[in-house]
Amino acid sequence: MADDKSNAAKYWKANVRLIAGCLVVWAFVSYGCAILFRPLLAGIPVGGTDLGFWFAQQGSILTFIGIIFFYAWKMNKLDKKFGLEE
Amino acid sequence: MSQFAINLLFVGASFALYIGIAIWARAGSTKDFYVAGGGVHPITNGMATAADWMSAASFISMAGLLASGGYANSTFLMGWTGGYVILAMLLAPYLRKFGKFTVPDFIGDRFYSNTARLVAVVCLIVASVTYVIGQMTGAGVAFSRFLEVSNTWGIWLAALIVFLYAVFGGMKGITYTQVAQYVVLIIAYTIPAVFIAFQLTGNPIPMFGMFSTHTESGIPLLEKLDDVVNALGFRDYTADVDNKLNMVLFTLSLMVGTAGLPHVIIRFFTVPKVADARWSAGWALVFIALLYLTAPAVGSMARLNLATTVYPEMAGQVENYEEAAQNPILYEERPDWVRTWEETGLINFTDLNNDGRIQMYNDSADFSDRGWEGNELTVNNDILVLANPEIANLPSWVIGLIAAGGIAAALSTAAGLLLAISSAISHDLIKTMINPKITEKGEMLAARISMGGAILLATYLGLNPPGFAAQTVALAFGIAGASLFPALMMGIFSTRMNNSGAVAGMLAGLLSTLLYIFTFLGWFFVPDTNMLANTPDNWIFGISPLSFGAVGAMINFAVAFAVCSVTKAPPQEIQDLVESVRFPKGAGIAVDH
């Protein structure tokens, strides 16, 4: 029972770490590249405008999709590693 | 065949499909009714979630918002997609593991408090009812424009169709009609976009066409658009935003609001496994992105098309925009689509300087040196998508497709919202709080009656829109983000969070957000009751009332933890419950009790 508990606690810690990492990327592309750092990226041209604009209207959404699939894939591996899958 | 007959054919065929599905997918048990039996494939659920999510606003208004706001309105694109990332990681899998039917179910059980349950039910109903009115009026607009019936008949017709599959099929009927509606709406949205992208840039893929060269002028499309709107006194389409704090908070409010909206969350209760809930969120975003990545292309291209229709000399290579602006088209020679839409009142022309030509420009810019006495053509943003096929001279079957697509977008979202409302009433209020002894059969009947009642209420409010009907973004997203999202997240991520903390937090988030909104938009949105004028100078730290949901969420978290730290820890069985929702092992399909 105690082992089960510490196993589940370790699993949860690994999950929270993974979430934190994913959220950093999530915030970086949307709040970072698309909004706050747009002036810094103004020098990088993308088809008639700049990289920040592309991130705001295309890049961030594409990255979001990547993050969710990466998280789902990683969590499936974690589920198995800790023997906590269904 | 006339355009009317073609529209009728497309809309009629799509309705026949929905009704066919309704007959096939009848609900036999409360589990069927609330969570479609719990056996929906993650990709199927992803598609249904996409239709559930993409409302009349996404289908009809999104491109228009982008066309008018340019870069500044990218907030909607990021906010309404980025919410799925937090939903997939912070809520969906654990709520699926918890395995109940509704969102208030989790809040009530996790915080062992019927007060918490009741606050959640009230938040859910206010957010969903506000949201559903827009769907009914959106369906009304689409019906009246394409099927030449009155707005009133359009809304009644929409209500009847939803009634057929939602009352009999519940979540099961709704899920499979939403899949069909997704297919209809995405085809309807992308086909005109492909045609227009090809016409303007030679690249048939809208997401790439938007960033490639505009064929007629030989310069990049967005650069061309900046030049054209500039010549008409507008800011550059791609211009940066000064108030970055507000832009960040608005995007964040839309994201947490998206993740906290009950009609989206309950879709993830229908998949068989916890792992499926994670995959399903990814698939949902893929299907949503097909439309959301196309919308910016539709918006920018429609804006350019509109401007060059009015000022034909601006279309090609332009040496001097000052000169090109001198010769807009004569009102007498306006294209047919302008005539059609004038009849609906969504396009208006007034010849202010009596020269017989259409001067369309930024009304706050002064062009008296050009002999212009004010903007003469007003175009409602909402018609851009609906009129797109006509503006680009596409074949008439594409117009029929747009009609069916717009109606599909409105109906699919309406059905999801109505299910969230009716299950909160029949399951959380009647079954859990008022009469726990009710039989399975009795609860089914209660669920069907609540669904019928919710449809009647939505129809009534669609016919007589109250003042708050236009406030979906402020009210629905504000409440979901400031009240429901933090409560759900703390319920999973903090074992220590107790009933007092959660209730205090939800109320603090809800009331602070409402107070801020009402201060600027009027008490209960009654005109002229606002205490401060709704202008950026008055906003605290430049935060608009629409962006306050994120601040409300922070207040919710802060108050909840403060109250929780001075009150008793939750009982051991609740702490065990929290620990058990954190991993997939041992989850069954969603069960009653």
- For the stretch B177-217, pLDDT in tens is 999 999 999 999 999 999 999 999 999 999 999 999 999 99
- Overall number of domains in chain A: 1
Q: How high does pLDDT run on average in chain B?
A: 93
Band the pLDDT of B540: cuts 50, 70, 90.
very high
Q: Do B293 and A64 touch (CB under 8 A)?
A: no
**Element spanning B131, H or E:** helix B114-146
**Higher local confidence (pLDDT), B528 or B93:** B93
Q: What is the pLDDT of residue B591?
A: 53
Q: What is the pLDDT of residue B131?
A: 93
Domain B3-111+120-301+394-434+443-581 sits in which CATH superfamily?
Sodium/glucose cotransporter (1.20.1730.10)
Band the pLDDT of B470: cuts 50, 70, 90.
confident
Q: Which two tokens stand for residue B43?
A: 């990709």
- CB count within 10 Å of CB B316 equals 13
Looking at the predicted structure, is the pLDDT value of residue A5 above 80? Answer: yes
Global ipTM: 0.97
In a domain, A43, yes or no: yes
Looking at the predicted structure, is the pLDDT value of residue A82 above 70? Answer: yes
In a domain, A9, yes or no: no
pLDDT over 90 percentage in chain B: 83
pLDDT over 70 percentage in chain B: 99
Looking at the predicted structure, is the pLDDT value of residue A1 above 60? Answer: no
Break chain B into its structural domains and give their ranges: 3-111+120-301+394-434+443-581, 306-389
In a domain, A86, yes or no: no
- Per-residue pLDDT tens for B161-182? 999 889 989 999 999 999 999 9
Q: What is the pLDDT of residue B388?
A: 83
**Higher local confidence (pLDDT), A25 or B168:** A25
In a domain, A10, yes or no: no
Q: What is the pLDDT of residue A2?
A: 62
Tell which A residues from 29 to 58 touch B, by Cβ distance under 8 Å.
30-31, 34-36, 38-39, 46-50, 52-54, 56-58
**A-chain residues within 8 Å CB-CB of B223?**
48-49
The span from the CA of B346 to the CA of B336, in Å, is 14
Q: What is the mean pLDDT of residues B301-311?
A: 93
Looking at the predicted structure, is the pLDDT value of residue B68 above 80? Answer: yes
Q: Do B244 and A65 touch (CB under 8 A)?
A: no
Looking at the predicted structure, is the pLDDT value of residue B344 above 80? Answer: no
Numbers of helices and strands, H then E, in chain A: 3, 2
Q: Which two tokens stand for residue B113?
A: 């408090």
Q: Do A47 and B221 touch (CB under 8 A)?
A: yes
- CB count within 10 Å of CB B414 equals 33
Dihedrals phi, psi of B358, to nearest 5 degrees: -95, 110
Q: Do A26 and B85 touch (CB under 8 A)?
A: yes
Q: What is the mean pLDDT of residues B39-68?
A: 94
- Whether B554 contacts B489, CB under 8 Å: no
Of A5, A30, A69, the CB nearest to B78: A30
| Burial degree of A39 (CB within 10 A; 0-12, 13-18, 19+) | exposed
**B-chain residues within 8 Å CB-CB of A65?**
282, 285-286, 289
B239 touches chain A (CB under 8 A): no
- Whether B574 contacts B110, CB under 8 Å: yes
Band the pLDDT of B593: cuts 50, 70, 90.
very low
Looking at the predicted structure, is the pLDDT value of residue B128 above 90? Answer: yes
In a domain, A61, yes or no: yes
Q: What is the pLDDT of residue B381?
A: 84
CA distances from B118 to B22, B113, B423 (A): 32, 9, 13
Q: What is the pLDDT of residue B51?
A: 97
- Per-residue pLDDT tens for B234-263? 999 999 999 999 999 999 999 999 999 999
**A-chain residues within 8 Å CB-CB of B203?**
none
The span from the CA of B220 to the CA of B314, in Å, is 15
> What residue numbers bound the domain in which A36 lies?
18-81
